Amino acid sequence: MIKRTLLYYRILNYQPENLALLNSHFNVITLPDPDHDNKEILSGIDVVLAPLGYYYGKERIDLCPKLKVIASNTTGTPHIDERYAGQKGIRVISLKGETDFLRTITPTAEHTWGLVLAITRNTVPSFRSVCEGHWSRWPFGAPKMLSRMSLGIAGLGRIGRMVARYAEAFGMTIRFYDPYVTGADIPDITRVRSLEELALLSDVITLHVPLNPETEGLINRDFFSKCKNGSYLVNTSRGRVVDTGALIEALETGRLKGAAVDVLDDEFERGFEKSVTAHPLVSYAREHDNLLITPHIGGSTVDAWRLTQEHTIKSVLRYLSEEE
Ligand code: NAD
Protein backbone atom coordinates (compact mmCIF):
# COMPACT_ATOMS: atom_id res chain seq x y z
CA MET A 1 0.00 0.00 0.00
CA ILE A 2 1.34 3.46 -0.87
CA LYS A 3 2.08 5.62 2.13
CA ARG A 4 -0.59 8.29 2.44
CA THR A 5 -0.18 11.58 4.25
CA LEU A 6 -1.98 11.81 7.57
CA LEU A 7 -2.42 14.93 9.69
CA TYR A 8 -2.17 14.24 13.42
CA TYR A 9 -2.72 16.84 16.14
CA ARG A 10 -0.74 16.59 19.35
CA ILE A 11 -3.80 17.49 21.46
CA LEU A 12 -5.18 14.06 20.56
CA ASN A 13 -2.58 12.54 22.86
CA TYR A 14 -2.40 9.18 21.12
CA GLN A 15 -0.61 6.45 23.05
CA PRO A 16 3.01 5.72 21.99
CA GLU A 17 2.16 2.35 20.41
CA ASN A 18 -0.55 3.99 18.31
CA LEU A 19 1.78 6.80 17.22
CA ALA A 20 4.20 4.06 16.14
CA LEU A 21 1.36 2.34 14.24
CA LEU A 22 0.53 5.62 12.48
CA ASN A 23 4.17 6.23 11.59
CA SER A 24 4.59 2.74 10.17
CA HIS A 25 1.67 3.20 7.74
CA PHE A 26 1.55 6.92 6.97
CA ASN A 27 3.67 9.95 6.31
CA VAL A 28 2.56 11.69 9.47
CA ILE A 29 2.48 15.47 9.72
CA THR A 30 2.13 16.61 13.32
CA LEU A 31 0.71 19.95 14.41
CA PRO A 32 -0.20 21.09 17.93
CA ASP A 33 -3.90 21.62 17.07
CA PRO A 34 -6.10 22.72 14.14
CA ASP A 35 -5.43 26.40 14.93
CA HIS A 36 -2.00 25.70 13.40
CA ASP A 37 -3.40 24.37 10.11
CA ASN A 38 -2.25 26.12 6.98
CA LYS A 39 -3.37 25.89 3.37
CA GLU A 40 -0.18 24.24 2.20
CA ILE A 41 -0.40 21.38 4.72
CA LEU A 42 -4.13 20.87 4.24
CA SER A 43 -3.77 20.77 0.46
CA GLY A 44 -1.58 17.65 0.70
CA ILE A 45 -3.30 15.45 3.28
CA ASP A 46 -5.17 12.20 2.57
CA VAL A 47 -6.31 11.53 6.13
CA VAL A 48 -6.92 13.70 9.17
CA LEU A 49 -7.54 12.63 12.74
CA ALA A 50 -10.06 15.23 13.88
CA PRO A 51 -10.07 16.31 17.53
CA LEU A 52 -13.25 17.31 19.37
CA GLY A 53 -13.55 21.04 19.88
CA TYR A 54 -12.43 21.99 16.33
CA TYR A 55 -14.96 21.90 13.54
CA TYR A 56 -14.27 19.99 10.37
CA GLY A 57 -16.86 21.63 8.14
CA LYS A 58 -17.02 23.11 4.64
CA GLU A 59 -14.48 25.84 5.35
CA ARG A 60 -11.74 23.40 6.37
CA ILE A 61 -12.75 20.55 4.09
CA ASP A 62 -12.60 22.81 1.03
CA LEU A 63 -8.92 23.44 1.82
CA CYS A 64 -8.20 19.68 1.56
CA PRO A 65 -8.63 18.65 -2.10
CA LYS A 66 -6.96 15.24 -1.60
CA LEU A 67 -8.73 14.33 1.62
CA LYS A 68 -10.17 10.80 1.66
CA VAL A 69 -10.83 10.16 5.35
CA ILE A 70 -11.73 12.19 8.42
CA ALA A 71 -11.34 9.93 11.43
CA SER A 72 -12.18 10.36 15.09
CA ASN A 73 -11.83 7.85 17.90
CA THR A 74 -15.12 9.03 19.42
CA THR A 75 -18.67 7.68 19.30
CA GLY A 76 -20.11 11.14 18.58
CA THR A 77 -18.98 13.33 15.67
CA PRO A 78 -20.40 16.77 16.46
CA HIS A 79 -17.11 18.23 15.22
CA ILE A 80 -17.46 16.85 11.70
CA ASP A 81 -19.90 17.95 9.01
CA GLU A 82 -20.66 14.40 7.89
CA ARG A 83 -23.10 15.47 5.22
CA TYR A 84 -20.67 17.84 3.53
CA ALA A 85 -17.85 15.31 3.81
CA GLY A 86 -20.13 12.75 2.15
CA GLN A 87 -20.91 15.16 -0.70
CA LYS A 88 -17.18 15.53 -1.30
CA GLY A 89 -16.65 11.75 -1.30
CA ILE A 90 -14.78 11.85 2.00
CA ARG A 91 -15.32 8.93 4.36
CA VAL A 92 -15.96 9.76 8.03
CA ILE A 93 -14.68 7.03 10.30
CA SER A 94 -15.55 7.02 13.99
CA LEU A 95 -16.60 4.51 16.62
CA LYS A 96 -20.28 5.14 15.91
CA GLY A 97 -22.02 1.84 15.21
CA GLU A 98 -18.99 -0.29 16.12
CA THR A 99 -21.26 -2.25 18.43
CA ASP A 100 -19.24 -5.39 19.06
CA PHE A 101 -16.07 -3.46 19.75
CA LEU A 102 -17.81 -0.89 21.94
CA ARG A 103 -19.36 -3.63 24.06
CA THR A 104 -15.84 -4.26 25.36
CA ILE A 105 -15.27 -0.61 26.32
CA THR A 106 -16.71 -0.21 29.81
CA PRO A 107 -15.08 2.79 31.58
CA THR A 108 -17.94 5.31 31.23
CA ALA A 109 -20.38 2.89 32.85
CA GLU A 110 -17.79 2.19 35.56
CA HIS A 111 -17.27 5.92 36.19
CA THR A 112 -21.03 6.40 36.36
CA TRP A 113 -21.02 3.99 39.28
CA GLY A 114 -18.10 5.81 40.84
CA LEU A 115 -20.22 8.96 40.73
CA VAL A 116 -23.36 7.25 42.07
CA LEU A 117 -21.40 5.91 45.02
CA ALA A 118 -19.49 9.13 45.66
CA ILE A 119 -22.51 11.42 45.61
CA THR A 120 -24.82 9.19 47.65
CA ARG A 121 -22.12 8.36 50.25
CA ASN A 122 -20.71 11.90 50.57
CA THR A 123 -17.25 10.61 49.71
CA VAL A 124 -15.77 13.97 48.72
CA PRO A 125 -17.03 16.13 51.63
CA SER A 126 -16.13 13.40 54.14
CA PHE A 127 -12.63 13.17 52.69
CA ARG A 128 -12.35 16.96 52.86
CA SER A 129 -13.36 16.87 56.54
CA VAL A 130 -10.63 14.32 57.28
CA CYS A 131 -8.06 16.53 55.57
CA GLU A 132 -9.28 19.39 57.77
CA GLY A 133 -8.51 17.28 60.85
CA HIS A 134 -11.98 15.89 61.72
CA TRP A 135 -12.92 12.27 62.32
CA SER A 136 -16.70 12.03 62.53
CA ARG A 137 -19.14 9.92 60.52
CA TRP A 138 -22.28 11.72 61.71
CA PRO A 139 -22.48 14.53 59.14
CA PHE A 140 -22.05 12.08 56.27
CA GLY A 141 -24.81 9.50 56.58
CA ALA A 142 -26.37 8.52 53.26
CA PRO A 143 -30.18 8.50 53.38
CA LYS A 144 -30.43 4.82 52.44
CA MET A 145 -28.51 1.75 51.40
CA LEU A 146 -28.26 1.44 47.64
CA SER A 147 -30.03 -1.91 47.93
CA ARG A 148 -33.10 0.01 49.15
CA MET A 149 -32.93 2.63 46.45
CA SER A 150 -34.39 2.63 42.97
CA LEU A 151 -32.34 3.50 39.93
CA GLY A 152 -33.86 5.23 36.91
CA ILE A 153 -31.91 4.97 33.68
CA ALA A 154 -32.73 7.41 30.88
CA GLY A 155 -31.42 5.87 27.64
CA LEU A 156 -30.91 2.11 27.60
CA GLY A 157 -28.22 1.96 24.92
CA ARG A 158 -24.67 0.70 25.18
CA ILE A 159 -23.75 2.51 28.42
CA GLY A 160 -27.24 2.47 29.96
CA ARG A 161 -27.28 -1.33 29.65
CA MET A 162 -23.89 -1.71 31.33
CA VAL A 163 -25.01 0.59 34.14
CA ALA A 164 -28.15 -1.54 34.56
CA ARG A 165 -26.09 -4.74 34.85
CA TYR A 166 -23.83 -3.20 37.50
CA ALA A 167 -26.94 -1.97 39.37
CA GLU A 168 -28.11 -5.57 39.68
CA ALA A 169 -25.02 -6.33 41.77
CA PHE A 170 -26.11 -3.61 44.22
CA GLY A 171 -29.58 -5.11 44.48
CA MET A 172 -31.31 -1.91 43.37
CA THR A 173 -34.76 -1.68 41.86
CA ILE A 174 -34.03 -0.78 38.25
CA ARG A 175 -36.27 1.05 35.78
CA PHE A 176 -35.53 2.59 32.43
CA TYR A 177 -37.05 5.09 30.06
CA ASP A 178 -36.12 4.79 26.40
CA PRO A 179 -38.80 5.39 23.78
CA TYR A 180 -36.73 3.49 21.20
CA VAL A 181 -36.18 0.33 23.24
CA THR A 182 -39.22 -1.85 23.80
CA GLY A 183 -37.74 -4.61 25.90
CA ALA A 184 -34.47 -5.23 27.66
CA ASP A 185 -32.49 -8.45 27.71
CA ILE A 186 -31.71 -7.76 31.36
CA PRO A 187 -33.67 -9.56 34.07
CA ASP A 188 -35.36 -7.49 36.79
CA ILE A 189 -35.48 -4.23 34.88
CA THR A 190 -38.76 -2.47 34.29
CA ARG A 191 -39.61 -0.22 31.38
CA VAL A 192 -41.54 2.95 32.17
CA ARG A 193 -43.47 4.84 29.54
CA SER A 194 -42.40 8.39 30.28
CA LEU A 195 -39.57 10.42 31.69
CA GLU A 196 -42.06 11.80 34.19
CA GLU A 197 -42.75 8.30 35.51
CA LEU A 198 -39.02 7.68 35.81
CA ALA A 199 -38.65 10.94 37.77
CA LEU A 200 -41.54 10.09 40.09
CA LEU A 201 -40.21 6.60 40.93
CA SER A 202 -36.42 6.93 41.11
CA ASP A 203 -34.08 7.68 44.01
CA VAL A 204 -31.15 7.98 41.61
CA ILE A 205 -31.52 8.99 37.98
CA THR A 206 -28.68 8.45 35.55
CA LEU A 207 -28.57 9.85 32.02
CA HIS A 208 -27.29 7.89 29.01
CA VAL A 209 -29.00 9.51 26.06
CA PRO A 210 -27.29 10.99 23.01
CA LEU A 211 -27.36 14.76 22.54
CA ASN A 212 -29.73 15.74 19.74
CA PRO A 213 -32.51 18.29 19.27
CA GLU A 214 -34.92 15.95 21.09
CA THR A 215 -32.72 15.49 24.16
CA GLU A 216 -31.23 18.99 24.48
CA GLY A 217 -32.64 20.38 27.74
CA LEU A 218 -34.58 17.13 28.36
CA ILE A 219 -33.76 17.46 32.05
CA ASN A 220 -35.34 20.80 32.90
CA ARG A 221 -37.46 22.55 35.54
CA ASP A 222 -40.48 20.50 34.62
CA PHE A 223 -38.50 17.26 35.05
CA PHE A 224 -37.13 18.34 38.44
CA SER A 225 -40.62 19.30 39.60
CA LYS A 226 -41.60 15.63 39.10
CA CYS A 227 -38.52 14.18 40.82
CA LYS A 228 -38.75 12.57 44.24
CA ASN A 229 -37.74 15.00 46.94
CA GLY A 230 -34.16 14.31 47.96
CA SER A 231 -33.26 12.24 44.90
CA TYR A 232 -29.95 12.21 43.02
CA LEU A 233 -29.00 12.93 39.43
CA VAL A 234 -25.93 11.59 37.64
CA ASN A 235 -24.99 12.77 34.15
CA THR A 236 -22.17 11.20 32.18
CA SER A 237 -23.93 11.72 28.82
CA ARG A 238 -23.68 15.25 27.44
CA GLY A 239 -23.89 18.54 29.32
CA ARG A 240 -26.60 20.08 27.15
CA VAL A 241 -29.05 17.30 28.02
CA VAL A 242 -29.47 19.12 31.36
CA ASP A 243 -30.65 22.71 31.82
CA THR A 244 -27.89 24.12 34.00
CA GLY A 245 -30.03 26.80 35.71
CA ALA A 246 -32.74 24.26 36.53
CA LEU A 247 -30.16 21.87 38.00
CA ILE A 248 -28.76 24.55 40.30
CA GLU A 249 -32.28 25.47 41.41
CA ALA A 250 -33.09 21.80 42.13
CA LEU A 251 -29.93 21.47 44.23
CA GLU A 252 -30.57 24.74 46.09
CA THR A 253 -34.15 23.85 46.96
CA GLY A 254 -33.25 20.31 48.05
CA ARG A 255 -35.46 18.75 45.39
CA LEU A 256 -32.22 17.00 44.51
CA LYS A 257 -30.12 15.89 47.44
CA GLY A 258 -27.12 15.69 45.18
CA ALA A 259 -25.87 15.55 41.63
CA ALA A 260 -22.72 14.35 39.95
CA VAL A 261 -21.80 15.31 36.41
CA ASP A 262 -18.92 14.37 34.14
CA VAL A 263 -20.01 16.75 31.38
CA LEU A 264 -20.84 20.45 31.18
CA ASP A 265 -22.97 22.30 28.64
CA ASP A 266 -20.18 24.60 27.41
CA GLU A 267 -17.26 22.19 27.54
CA PHE A 268 -16.81 22.01 23.76
CA GLU A 269 -16.77 25.80 23.37
CA ARG A 270 -13.43 27.18 22.27
CA GLY A 271 -11.34 28.39 25.21
CA PHE A 272 -13.58 26.69 27.78
CA GLU A 273 -10.54 25.43 29.77
CA LYS A 274 -9.63 29.05 30.53
CA SER A 275 -13.02 29.94 31.99
CA VAL A 276 -13.93 26.79 33.91
CA THR A 277 -14.27 28.53 37.28
CA ALA A 278 -16.82 30.95 35.80
CA HIS A 279 -19.16 28.12 34.80
CA PRO A 280 -22.31 28.35 36.98
CA LEU A 281 -22.08 24.67 38.02
CA VAL A 282 -18.40 24.97 38.93
CA SER A 283 -19.11 28.18 40.90
CA TYR A 284 -21.91 26.36 42.70
CA ALA A 285 -19.76 23.28 43.44
CA ARG A 286 -17.04 25.44 44.98
CA GLU A 287 -19.55 26.66 47.58
CA HIS A 288 -21.65 23.52 48.12
CA ASP A 289 -21.08 19.88 48.99
CA ASN A 290 -23.93 18.37 47.01
CA LEU A 291 -22.53 18.72 43.51
CA LEU A 292 -19.62 16.68 42.25
CA ILE A 293 -18.01 17.46 38.89
CA THR A 294 -15.38 15.50 36.97
CA PRO A 295 -13.80 16.80 33.75
CA HIS A 296 -15.28 14.38 31.20
CA ILE A 297 -13.17 11.47 32.41
CA GLY A 298 -15.87 8.82 31.91
CA GLY A 299 -14.11 7.07 29.04
CA SER A 300 -10.63 7.87 30.30
CA THR A 301 -8.67 4.76 31.10
CA VAL A 302 -5.33 4.29 29.41
CA ASP A 303 -6.33 0.93 27.95
CA ALA A 304 -9.58 2.35 26.55
CA TRP A 305 -7.64 5.21 24.94
CA ARG A 306 -5.18 2.72 23.47
CA LEU A 307 -7.89 0.35 22.19
CA THR A 308 -10.18 3.02 20.71
CA GLN A 309 -7.29 4.80 18.97
CA GLU A 310 -6.00 1.50 17.59
CA HIS A 311 -9.47 0.47 16.41
CA THR A 312 -9.87 3.79 14.59
CA ILE A 313 -6.47 3.56 12.90
CA LYS A 314 -7.19 -0.01 11.78
CA SER A 315 -10.59 1.04 10.40
CA VAL A 316 -8.87 3.80 8.39
CA LEU A 317 -6.27 1.34 7.07
CA ARG A 318 -8.97 -1.18 6.14
CA TYR A 319 -10.96 1.48 4.28
CA LEU A 320 -7.92 2.74 2.38
CA SER A 321 -6.83 -0.76 1.38
CA GLU A 322 -10.36 -1.51 0.10
CA GLU A 323 -10.22 1.73 -1.89
CA GLU A 324 -7.00 0.78 -3.68
P1 NAD B 1 -26.21 4.72 22.61
O2 NAD B 1 -26.54 5.36 21.32
O3 NAD B 1 -25.71 3.32 22.62
O4 NAD B 1 -27.49 4.77 23.58
C5 NAD B 1 -28.30 5.89 23.69
C6 NAD B 1 -29.69 5.42 24.07
O7 NAD B 1 -30.49 6.58 24.32
C8 NAD B 1 -30.38 4.63 22.94
O9 NAD B 1 -30.88 3.39 23.42
C10 NAD B 1 -31.53 5.54 22.50
O11 NAD B 1 -32.67 4.84 22.09
C12 NAD B 1 -31.79 6.33 23.78
N13 NAD B 1 -32.51 7.58 23.58
C14 NAD B 1 -32.46 8.40 22.50
N15 NAD B 1 -33.29 9.45 22.70
C16 NAD B 1 -33.86 9.27 23.92
C17 NAD B 1 -34.78 10.01 24.67
N18 NAD B 1 -35.31 11.17 24.21
N19 NAD B 1 -35.15 9.55 25.89
C20 NAD B 1 -34.62 8.40 26.37
N21 NAD B 1 -33.75 7.63 25.68
C22 NAD B 1 -33.37 8.07 24.47
O23 NAD B 1 -25.17 5.70 23.32
P24 NAD B 1 -24.07 5.32 24.42
O25 NAD B 1 -22.83 4.86 23.74
O26 NAD B 1 -24.71 4.47 25.46
O27 NAD B 1 -23.74 6.79 25.01
C28 NAD B 1 -24.66 7.45 25.86
C29 NAD B 1 -24.18 8.86 26.13
O30 NAD B 1 -22.91 8.81 26.79
C31 NAD B 1 -23.96 9.74 24.89
O32 NAD B 1 -24.48 11.03 25.15
C33 NAD B 1 -22.46 9.82 24.75
O34 NAD B 1 -22.06 11.03 24.12
C35 NAD B 1 -22.03 9.77 26.21
N36 NAD B 1 -20.65 9.34 26.44
C37 NAD B 1 -19.95 9.96 27.42
C38 NAD B 1 -18.66 9.55 27.73
C39 NAD B 1 -17.90 10.22 28.83
O40 NAD B 1 -16.68 10.16 28.84
N41 NAD B 1 -18.56 10.85 29.78
C42 NAD B 1 -18.07 8.49 27.02
C43 NAD B 1 -18.82 7.86 26.04
C44 NAD B 1 -20.12 8.28 25.74
- Mean per-residue pLDDT of the chain: 96
Determine the average pLDDT of the residues in 192-206. Answer: 98
Please tell me the pTM assigned to this model: 0.94
pLDDT-based confidence at residue 209 (cuts at 50, 70, 90):
very high
Q: How many CA atoms lie within 13 A of 299 on its CB side?
A: 20
Q: Which residues partner with 108 through β-bridges?
A: none
Inter-residue contact 118 to 124 (CB < 8 Å) = yes
User: So what's the pLDDT on residue 131?
Assistant: 98
Q: How far is the CA of 155 from the centre of ligand 1 (A)?
A: 6
Ligand 1 atom closest to Cα of residue 215: 18
The best mutation among 115, 159, 241 to test binding of ligand 1, ranked by most ligand atoms within 8 Å of the C-beta, falls on: 159
Greater pLDDT, 183 or 237:
237
Cβ neighbors of 295 (< 8 A, separation 6 or more) are 262
User: So what's the pLDDT on residue 1?
Assistant: 62
Full strand arrangement of the beta sheet holding 4-9: 26-31, 4-9, 47-49, 69-71, 91-93
Inter-residue contact 7 to 41 (CB < 8 Å) = yes
Q: Write out the catalytic residue numbers.
A: 238, 267, 296
> How far is it, in rounded angstroms, from Cα 45 to Cα 7?
6
Q: Is the pLDDT of residue 264 over 90?
A: yes
Q: Is the pLDDT of residue 157 over 70?
A: yes
Q: Is the pLDDT of residue 184 over 80?
A: no
Inter-residue contact 41 to 19 (CB < 8 Å) = no
Q: Is the pLDDT of residue 307 over 80?
A: yes
Determine the average pLDDT of the residues in 94-108. Answer: 96
